[in-house]
Amino acid sequence: MAIVTGAGSGIGRAIALRFAGEGATVRVVDIGEKCARDTVEEIVGVGGGATWHVCDVSNQKSVKELFRKIAGEGSFHILVNNAGISHIGTVETTTEADFDHVFQVNVKGIYNCLHAGVGYLKANGGVILNMASIAGSSGLADRFAYSMSKGAVIAMTYSVARDYLAHNIRCNCISPARVHTPFVDGYLKKMYPGREEEMFKVLSAAQPIGRMGKPEEVAALAAFLCSDESGFITGTDYALDGGFFNLRG
Instruction: Tell me the one-letter amino acid at 149.
Output: S
> Is residue 220 classed as helix, strand or coil in its secondary structure?
helix
Nearest of 80, 82, 28 to residue 53 by alpha carbon: 28
25 contacts: CB under 8 Å, gap ≥ 6: 1, 2, 49, 50, 74
Residue pair 212/204 in contact by the 8 Å Cβ criterion:
yes
From the list 111, 146, 164, 238, the catalytic residue is 146
146 catalytically annotated: yes
- The secondary element (H helix, E strand) that includes residue 75 is none
> Is residue 203 classed as helix, strand or coil in its secondary structure?
helix
- The secondary element (H helix, E strand) that includes residue 86 is none
215 contacts: CB under 8 Å, gap ≥ 6: 10, 11, 13, 14, 15, 179, 180, 181
Active-site residues: which are they?
Answer: 146
